[in-house]
Amino acid sequence: MIKIDDGVLLIADPFLKDGNFARSVVLLTRHEENEGSFGFVLNRPLGHTLDELLNEMENYPIPVFQGGPVQLDTIHYIHQYPDLIPDSQLIIEDVYWGGNFEVLKELIFNKEVDPNKIKFFLGYSGWEKGQLQHELDDNSWITATSTREIIFETNPEKTWESSLRHLGGKYETMINYPIDPQLN
């Protein structure tokens, strides 16, 4: 396992039963040892599009993901356009978080950005100081380096499996573990 930091993937242990995070992959966008952690679930499509959630985005059916169980009345985004969207924050190479939403809307309206290089989230995943470390100590999460491909190019239904496959070895065998071993 790698040290938790900005840009790290949290891959849910195969037997994690928390309904918010079972078989999920979370991209940490901010980790502060003395404050806590913040990130987004990458593989939970909400089943709604941006134009369904924001009136001003009418006719722009960009998929939205369930970012996590916290503040489900907020929309966040990650993207690959730091030169076009002011105030973006680097997460990993070629992946940025947030920035000026008004500028992003104009870029979308003018078709100057590829919607496949932007990912929107409703809500977020958050941990108070020490909470995530406690969950890691309990083996709820497997940590891994993230890649632009896993974040933007992997089918959401395959993100958990692809993340474990990326780690290889014993982690790759976890792909075949049943959700509930008691049912075997």
Predicted local distance difference test score (pLDDT) of residue 177: 79
> Is 104 exposed, middle or buried, given 0-12, 13-18 or 19+ CB atoms closer than 10 A?
buried
Structural fold of domain 8-183: VC0467-like (3.40.1740)
Question: pLDDT band at 183, cuts 50/70/90?
Answer: low
Q: H helices within the chain, ranges in order? A: 50-53, 101-109, 131-137, 148, 159-167, 169-173
Whole-number average pLDDT of the chain: 93
Quickly count: other Cβ atoms within 10 Å of residue 50's Cβ: 22
Residue 140 has pLDDT above 90, yes or no: yes
HSE-up (13 A, CA, CB side) for residue 15: 7
Q: For residue 3, what are its two tokens? A: 């040290």
Mean pLDDT calculated for residue range 29-48: 95
Which pTM does this prediction carry? 0.94
Which has the higher per-residue pLDDT, 79 or 179? 79
Q: For residue 173, what are its two tokens? A: 């065998």
pLDDT tens per residue across span 80-120: 999 999 999 999 999 999 999 999 999 999 999 999 999 99
Nearest CA to 10 out of 149, 117, 127, 121 is that of 127
Predicted local distance difference test score (pLDDT) of residue 3: 87
Question: pLDDT band at 181, cuts 50/70/90?
Answer: low
Euclidean distance between CA atoms 41 and 9, whole angstroms: 10
Predicted local distance difference test score (pLDDT) of residue 112: 96
